[in-house]
């Protein structure tokens, strides 16, 4: 019973963590796009986005990450045999990648605070898809567990990533054509 309660807390943490990461990077995109506005509008928008970004990262996303990690470690403590399974080791590797992603988002926030961010909105959109790719990979590993064929999983993972990046490129082209049409 205690394991299931811990697992529930872990899932709630994961959902909150990913929601925070998805929205956080979208706010980065909006912050950068505000640079194309008039000076007054840019200052107002970017100031507001900075507040939203800081609060989201500090009050929602990072605490959700901590809850996820504590509950995940708790689950492994209650069921240490999970560490002997290949799917769990692969999941932990992906979670390590997600922790790097989270840390890098914090780095981008510091760059925003120092007015040093150089990332273009399109690059930030692509960066946003990294979390999506990690989410899909982690969910498939957890659901399919030992029935997961690594080769087919890797191929599917790569195809999914290519489709996501192609969609982002298509969207960028579409936005450019709409902007030139409006002028």
Q: What is the pLDDT of residue 57?
A: 97
Which of 2-6, 59-63, 150-154 is the least confident region? 150-154
Helices (H), the chain: 2-33, 39-55, 62-78, 86-113, 121-144, 150-182
* pTM metric for this prediction: 0.82
Average pLDDT, the chain: 87
**Max avg pLDDT among 56-70, 104-118, 144-158:** 56-70
Spatial distance between the Cα atoms of 60 and 178, rounded to a whole number of angstroms: 35
Give me the number of domains the chain comprises: 1
3-state secondary structure of 22: helix
The pLDDT tens digits for 40-68 are 998 999 999 999 999 999 999 999 999 99
Has 91 been labeled as part of a binding site? Answer: yes
The pLDDT tens digits for 84-93 are 988 898 899 9
Q: Which domain holds residue 64?
A: 2-182
3-state secondary structure of 1: coil
Has 102 been labeled as part of a binding site? Answer: no
Mean pLDDT score, 92-115: 93
Whether 22 has a pLDDT exceeding 90, the answer reads: yes
pLDDT category of residue 181 using cuts at 50, 70 and 90: low
Cα end-to-end distance, the chain, whole Å: 62
């Amino acid at each position: 019973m205690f394991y299931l309660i811990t697992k529930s807390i872990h899932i709630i943490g994961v959902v909150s963590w990913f929601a925070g990461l998805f929205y956080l990077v979208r706010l980065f995109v909006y912050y950068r796009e505000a640079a194309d506005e008039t000076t007054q509008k840019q200052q107002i928008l970017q100031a507001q986005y900075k507040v939203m970004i800081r609060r989201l990262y500090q009050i929602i996303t990072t605490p959700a990450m901590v809850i996820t990690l504590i509950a995940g470690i708790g689950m492994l403590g209650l069921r240490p045999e999970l560490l002997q399974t290949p799917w769990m080791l692969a999941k932990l590797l992906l979670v390590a990648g997600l922790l790097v992603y989270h840390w890098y988002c914090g780095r981008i926030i510091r760059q925003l605070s120092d007015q040093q961010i150089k990332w273009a909105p399109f690059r930030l959109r692509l960066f946003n898809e990294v979390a999506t790719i990690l989410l899909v990979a982690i969910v498939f590993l957890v659901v399919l567990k030992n029935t997961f064929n690594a080769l087919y999983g890797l191929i599917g993972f790569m195809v999914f990533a290519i489709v996501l990046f192609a969609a982002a490129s298509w969207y960028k082209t579409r936005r450019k054509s709409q902007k030139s049409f409006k002028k």
